[in-house]
Structure 1
């Protein structure tokens, strides 16, 4: 193959999110000045996945920390000491003892933890880290319909990580404008749908589409 036919693939990779420009939405990500900090525990299997939405939060939120790990040792190395967490921190993940976020008094909670991974992988993070189970735990009573139609969810009421964070902050900080997250999510879905053959796109209809 001649030198003139060699394509420099790096030219098409975003230096910020490391995704191909065909699905990069960094130019759609605007600042969201959240007052309440969020820590996202990302399962190692999610790192590098092109369908992940955590990159949107990293680009938008003023106060967000991402730690990658599954076991306590991995989380410790990533900068999260579970032993230092107390009742001022809470986990957003449904369970037998979780409370309805919209109906609960969350005024004492100043730090939220979200889990980024498949349902099974997120549950495993909780199982491997008993200290997380000692924290107050919440789930959504009336979440909006997910627009992330290009990635299969376990159930209709499940949201992507970016959507969950946006709804969480909208509930906790009513004056906060989380529209930049929603805009970036919509752009991501549109770009992903554009990569799907036209004859197959009807399998990925957004809620409310005819």
Structure 2
């Protein structure tokens, strides 16, 4: 690896936010299914969760075969597991009884590619699904979202954990997200930055 890249996230120091990441000791285990097209993206937010959350699994793939090859196998128990992803069959998380849910699955990819993961992986797609009825506004201005209510992966995980574990300090996730946006904007020529604000 070239010396100028961070040894933890493998990105250039100008866009690395490792210095803003600190431990968030979540008790609720999260599993993220990451689309292969997201791996290595400098604007990706999953790397923040990988450095902050103490209970996190990440598997890269799109098809069941790819996820099995990545080691997913039967690591996701069907009982007590839910997916955080909006859709026609999803329930508003804030209004639901979540006592029987002990494990959450999140999807990391564009809206279309995340939906494709659910479509191709019937075992995951058949799990109970939830969405945020009133999510906070996203501050992730450096990538275009399908709508105002869509959150980046790290934002969604942070907001989910705030709801599930009210006493958990998720500020490190938000601080790293803010640093990511600041450092990415700094790479954009000044005349173009206002387009992202």
Unaligned runs of 5+ in 2: none
User: Which shows bigger deviation, 82-91 or 168-177?
Assistant: 82-91
Q: SS of the residue aligned with 1:144?
A: coil
Displacement of 1:26: 0.3
Partner of 1:107: 99
TM-score, normalisation: structure 1: 0.91
Change in 2 beyond 3 A, CA 1:148/1:48: same
Alignment of 1:87-106 (within 5 A): 87-106=79-98
Task: Determine helix, strand or coil for the equivalent of 2:100.
Answer: coil
Name segments (4+ residues, structure 1) moved above 4 Å. Answer: none
* Residues 150 and 97 (structure 1), Cα distance of their counterparts in 2 relative to 1, 3 Å cut: same
CA RMSD of aligned residues (A): 1.2
Bigger drift between 131-140 and 113-122 goes to 131-140
3-state SS, counterpart of residue 177 of structure 2:
helix
1:11 CA drift (Å): 2.5
- The answer to whether residue 139 in structure 2 is matched with residue 134 in structure 1 is no
How much does 1:143 deviate?
A: 0.5
Counterpart of 2:190 in structure 1 is: 198
Q: 1:144 matched to which residue of 2? A: 136
1:181 paired with 2:166, answer no
Q: Aligned partners of 1:39 and 1:131: how far apart in 2?
A: 14
Query: 1 CA distance for matches of 2:75 and 2:164?
Result: 25
Of the candidates 31, 49, 52, which is equivalent to residue 60 of structure 1? 52
Deviation at 1:83, TM superposition (A): 8.2
How far apart in 2 are the matches of 1:82 and 1:172?
A: 24
Report if the CA contact (8 A) 1:41-1:67 is conserved.
Answer: yes
Number of aligned residue pairs: 197
Give the superposition deviation at 1:130: 1.0
Distance 2:96 2:145 in 1: 26
How many Å separate the matches in 1 of 2:105 and 2:9?
A: 22
For the residues of structure 2 that align with 1:110 and 1:182, how far apart are their CA atoms? 23
Q: Matches of 2:87 and 2:138 in 1, distance apart?
A: 20
Q: Which structure 1 segments of 5+ residues have no match? A: 1-8, 206-210
Higher Cα Rg: structure 1 or 2? 1
- SS of 1:12's equivalent in the other structure is coil
Deviates more, 1:71-80 or 1:55-64: 71-80
Q: Is the 8 A contact 1:98 1:138 kept in 2?
A: yes
